[in-house]
Amino acid sequence: MALHFKRTTSVLDDLTLQLAFEKVSHVPQIELRGTFLPAEWFPQSGVQLTWPHAATDWRPVLAEATACYLRMAYEIASREKLLIVTPEPDAVEALLRERMPAAVLQHIGLAECPTNDTWARDHGFLTLLCEGKPVLLDYRFNGWGLKFAADKDNRINRRLYEAGQVAGTYVSRLDFVLEGGSIESDGRGTLLTTSECLMSANRNETLSRAELEERLRHDLHAERVLWLDHGYLAGDDTDSHVDTLARLCPSDTLVYVQCTDEADEHYEALKRMEEQLQAFRTMEGKPYRLIPLPMPAAVYDEDGARLPATYANFLVVNGAVLMPTYGQPAADDEARRRLQQAFPGREVVGIDCRVLIRQHGSLHCCTMQFPLGVLK
């Protein structure tokens, strides 16, 4: 599995990388009062990846999946710390030493832990900041409504905490099913979610919508919840996670998947989602700035089933936005251009995620960011 990382303007050599890392990691004057769920673009201490291995569903395409994870690891660790969770730390460490520049490698830590799969977004901690100190919320992950085994993944957070690999106050929320991909925060009291996911079977189905909203507001110190009632992607196992459809961005901006092909199966549902987004208002009562993302041309698996390719599944890291690409130059470039509008101060970096959607997820699904103070 040959993998060669090209040099970028932010990664010229080991010394330049170290200086760039220290600059990105510098924390400016920011508001750390109260308790809140930081937006993804809030300064980060690092990101978690849960690594693929032969005992996961990645087995048939493990070489390709590993190459994609190496690419993600490189781009993340070039800018901030990276924590890799794996049941095979020796093998992963050997691979990293072979493939990563030394200056990148020094920002990567390994945590040995049994895993079912690799979707860190949904089994990882949700981290509040309380007067600047992290509070690690450990929610129950049940394989997206008991669709897949998740017993090992559901214990990752506690193992990381007990091993001292994350810092903060641990809070069990294991009485409630909540996946990181199902919510978005603007860091100022607004949450964005989808009713299709939170009210789906085998999650918290005994609770009403009002009760679910109250739980979110209480646990995550939110002032309000914006519910999307429309929109889906064919092939999505998550019951319409919001991070596949619409994302909160700085300056009261929303980016979202737009379908302009009336013959496409998604057209009606995504049109209704767009209309609902147009009706949303900010805390100050103003319309959001809406930036539509193109929809990739349909991608199918070997059995002819459509896969959930989406440009909304990007990850914000210190100084950059890592976005999925799907081998479609025109659409990939247009998505990059529009994300640059949403994040004008950050580099937008594309990562080929065609192998990821073969397991019905993409780049954001594989990652979980930690705000200040979590990774040592």
- Asked if residues 292 and 253 have their Cβ atoms less than 8 Å apart, the reply is no
Residue linked to tokens 């190496």: 70
3 state DSSP class of 374: coil
DSSP three-state, residue 363: coil
Q: Half-sphere exposure of residue 17, counting CA atoms within 13 Å on the CB side?
A: 22
pLDDT at 376: 79
Per run of 10 residues, the mean pLDDT along the chain (length 376 residues) is 32 40 47 88 97 97 98 98 98 97 96 98 98 96 95 98 97 97 98 97 94 98 98 95 98 98 97 98 98 97 96 98 98 98 97 97 98 93
Closest by CA position to 37, among listed 230, 327, 248: 248
- Name every residue whose Cβ is closer than 8 Å to that of residue 3 and which is 6 or more positions away in sequence: 67, 70, 71, 99
The answer to whether the beta carbons of residues 353 and 69 sit under 8 Å apart is no
DSSP reduced 3-state for 163: coil
Cα 312 from Cα 43, distance rounded (Å): 21
Q: What is the pLDDT of residue 30?
A: 62
Q: Is 46 in contact with 165 (CB distance < 8 Å)?
A: no
Maximum separation of any 2 CA atoms in the chain, in Å: 56
Cβ atoms of 81 and 46 within 8 Å: the answer is yes
Instruction: Tell me what pLDDT residue 31 has.
Output: 64
Amino acid, single-letter form, for residue 201: A
How is residue 207 annotated by DSSP?
Answer: S
Q: Specify whether the backbone of 223 is left (phi greater than 0), alpha (psi in -120 to 50) or beta.
A: alpha
How many Cα atoms within 13 Å fall on the side-chain side of residue 134? 23
